[in-house]
Amino acid sequence: MKTGFVDLPLHPGTTPRWLFERMTNLSREISKVIIYEFGRDEFLRRLSEPFWFQGFACAIGFDWHSSGTTTVSCGALKQALNNEDIGIAFLGGKGKASRNTPSEIQNFSEKFNLSQQKTDELIKASRLSAKVDNDCLQDSFEIYHHSFVLSEGGKWAVIQQGMNAETLYARRYHWLSENLRKDEGFVNEPHTGISCDVKVEPLNMVAGESRNARKCSVDLAKEKSTKFYFSKQTTLFEVENFKLPRHHEIYLNGYENLMKSERIAKALNFAYESQPKNYEDLIAIKGVGAGTIRALALLSDLVYGEKPSWKDPVKYSFAHGGKDGYPYKVSRKLLDKSIETLKTGLENAKIGAHEKINALRRLKDFLPKEIY
């Protein structure tokens, strides 16, 4: 279950070594206290909440909207926790590091004594979470950071980030394994809390309103005749003295003709040969990317009249509401829980008094004064 995402502006600059080392030490001690006080499952839940993760990043040294909040904080946690015997592993990372996630899952699954079947499920979860955010939710944010957090019990959370190359804003996506719905798993309403100030009009194939479009997409992919929609040759038929096209051409993003895309035709051929049972199986097929998903969605509308959703899954601006009551009143219970969890970790962490005071001050500055 994805539990939310947040939009962040990207700023230039790098984290100095002295700061990263202190962030690593501080994140290690806070995490160990939280795991000791509340357990590994609660630690994963906390990481899956956008607001809590933002507060955590601030507490260990980041400004509230620094562009390194996600990548550097996850990097610090990875360096801090992977050598500790606490049953938690941070895997993946930014850019090329994200490609190592499957092999890292394999290594830590063996360390945690997980079965090979469970390991394969975890690798699939890692790949599907990235594919859903990159291809099924086409919101113009391209995934470039993927962190997979694994517990020795086999539960997991995902923190990944996509960037819009034009606006230079980043959107962070959070997932939590224990909240995955049984019906359609990764592809049906995976959001439970979304933090985002910028709304777009994406193709949202994981929305509840897209359920019939997903089913039609699977049916179309299993039909041999579907790939003829994606042929370079336009078939004509005679109607008295007129020659009319047998089908309409469909364009992607105003420039790519989906009806004449060899890439999509090849992907559909793989899909036909695979005969996917459901939408999850369909998007897991190698070669089925954003273009194929979009083409099948448009054909579902054109052929069957089953319209996909074009609504941004953003539901509100802040994970805990706004202090001015917009878009709804602050959830004091949820906010208090986040604050208490972080404060407990900070106050009991084995760090110097100076670091504790500075971290608590940063956390306090992040929160509205009348709430803290």
**Residue-range definition of the domain harbouring residue 274:** 208-304
3-state secondary structure of 283: helix
What is the C-alpha separation between 296 and 317, in angstroms, rounded? 32
More confident residue, 214 or 227: 214
> Is 371 within the bounds of a domain?
no
Q: Is-above-0.95 flag for pTM?
A: no
pLDDT of residue 49: 85
More confident residue, 92 or 267: 92
User: Could you tell me the two tokens for 107?
Assistant: 């290594």
Same domain, 65 and 82: yes
Q: Which residues contact 268 (CB under 8 A, 6 or more apart)?
A: 221, 226, 227, 230, 292
> Is 309 within the bounds of a domain?
no
Same domain, 115 and 243: no
Count of domains forming the chain: 2
> Is 323 within the bounds of a domain?
yes
> Is 86 within the bounds of a domain?
yes
pLDDT of residue 253: 47
pLDDT tens profile 145-170: 999 999 999 999 999 888 888 887 77
Same domain, 244 and 330: no
Is pLDDT above 50 for 23?
A: yes
Tell how far CA 270 is from the center of its chain: 26
